[in-house]
């Protein structure tokens, strides 16, 4: 059994991870990592590493900067600038210079480095941007809301039905009650597409002298 791992990286109490597997040619969210029988829980980096060592993880997509260059003095890479240009003006602030993200780039890099001997692809992604492009235009207001306030039952039900109809993926409603678990789910879906349907992904442009892990991809084209 092979797994596709998504990690929404935050501080020690705000890191979440979810895993998908393919079963009978359908993608399935497994009860492991942040998804338990009783609740959605935060994880330590060590718990994510243990899962990766104990299971066959084809790839992992991480919501954190994973590539760097000393020539990028302001910390805003070509990929970041390109992603900002794709988003509406009021959403461009979602894409930050890695200089402003405090310890997140270091935690992301260390996690990727520790997973690399046991995991296939290691991708950087931006789940909030992917979420924006996943939604029909009339529902994109959700992406401006879900980080700040709880979604309504109607909104959570809509998202559950969207993931079911678009991806044949059954997602329990509690995933949509926590923005970090929703981001982890989108990260996992991103790396699943990387292997199974890369036409759905946009590969963002990068400098030639980067060091670290990647590529940096987002979900962009559901028609692919």
Q: How many domains does the chain have?
A: 1
The answer to whether residue 124 is domain-embedded is yes
DSSP letter at 40? B
Residue range 31-68, pLDDT digits in tens? 999 999 888 999 999 999 999 999 999 999 999 999 98
Residue range 114-172, pLDDT digits in tens? 999 999 999 999 999 999 999 999 999 999 999 999 999 999 999 999 999 999 999 99
The answer to whether residue 141 is domain-embedded is yes
* Biggest CA-to-CA distance, the chain: 48
pLDDT band at 215 (very low <50, low <70, confident <90, very high): very high
pLDDT value for 135: 96
pLDDT value for 105: 87
Q: What are the CA-CA distances from residue 180 to residues 17, 60, 139 (Å)? A: 9, 16, 19
Percent of residues, the chain, with pLDDT higher than 90? 80
Query: How many helices and strands in the chain, by DSSP H and E?
Result: 7, 9
Neighbouring C-alpha atoms within 13 Å toward the C-beta of 206: 19
The answer to whether residue 72 is domain-embedded is yes
CA distance 31 to 40: 10
Strand-strand pairing, 119-124 and 56-63: parallel
Backbone angles phi, psi at 169, to 5 degrees: -115, 120
Residue of 165, 124, 162 lying closest to 143 (CA atoms): 162
Q: Which domain holds residue 111?
A: 2-219
How many Cβ atoms sit within 10 Å of the Cβ of residue 60?
A: 31
The answer to whether residue 190 is domain-embedded is yes
The alpha carbon of 157 is separated from its chain's Cα centroid by a whole number of angstroms, namely 21
CA distance 141 to 80: 22
Check whether 202 has a pLDDT greater than 80.
yes
Mean pLDDT of the chain: 93
The answer to whether residue 114 is domain-embedded is yes
> How deeply is 135 buried, as exposed, middle or buried, from its count of CB atoms within 10 A (0-12, 13-18, 19+)?
middle
Residue of 85, 101, 68 lying closest to 216 (CA atoms): 68
Q: Residue 8 forms beta bridges with which residues?
A: 16, 63
Residue of 202, 200, 197 lying closest to 223 (CA atoms): 200
pLDDT value for 40: 95
pLDDT value for 223: 58
CA distance 160 to 166: 10
The answer to whether residue 59 is domain-embedded is yes
The answer to whether residue 224 is domain-embedded is no
pLDDT value for 6: 98
Check whether 23 has a pLDDT greater than 90.
no
Radius of gyration of the chain (CA): 16
């Amino acid at each position: 059994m092979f797994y596709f791992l998504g990690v929404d990286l935050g501080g020690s109490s705000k890191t979440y991870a979810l895993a998908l597997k393919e079963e009978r040619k359908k993608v399935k969210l497994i009860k492991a990592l942040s998804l338990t029988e009783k609740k959605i829980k935060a994880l330590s980096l060590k718990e994510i590493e243990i899962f990766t060592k104990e299971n066959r993880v084809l790839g992992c997509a991480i919501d954190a900067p994973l590539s760097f260059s000393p020539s990028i003095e302001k910390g805003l890479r070509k990929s970041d600038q390109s992603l900002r240009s794709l988003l509406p003006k009021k959403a461009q602030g979602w894409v930050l210079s890695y200089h402003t993200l405090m310890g997140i780039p270091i935690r992301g890099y260390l996690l990727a480095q520790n997973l690399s001997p046991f995991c296939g692809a290691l991708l950087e992604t931006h789940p909030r941007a992917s979420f924006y492009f996943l939604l029909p235009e009339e529902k994109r207001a959700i992406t401006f809301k879900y980080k700040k306030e709880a979604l309504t039952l109607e909104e959570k039900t809509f998202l559950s039905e969207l993931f079911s109809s678009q991806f044949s993926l059954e997602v329990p409603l509690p995933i949509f009650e926590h923005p970090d678990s929703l981001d982890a789910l989108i990260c996992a879906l991103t790396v699943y597409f990387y292997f199974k349907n890369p036409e759905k992904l946009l590969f963002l442009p990068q400098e030639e002298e980067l060091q670290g892990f990647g590529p940096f991809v987002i979900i962009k084209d559901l028609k692919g």
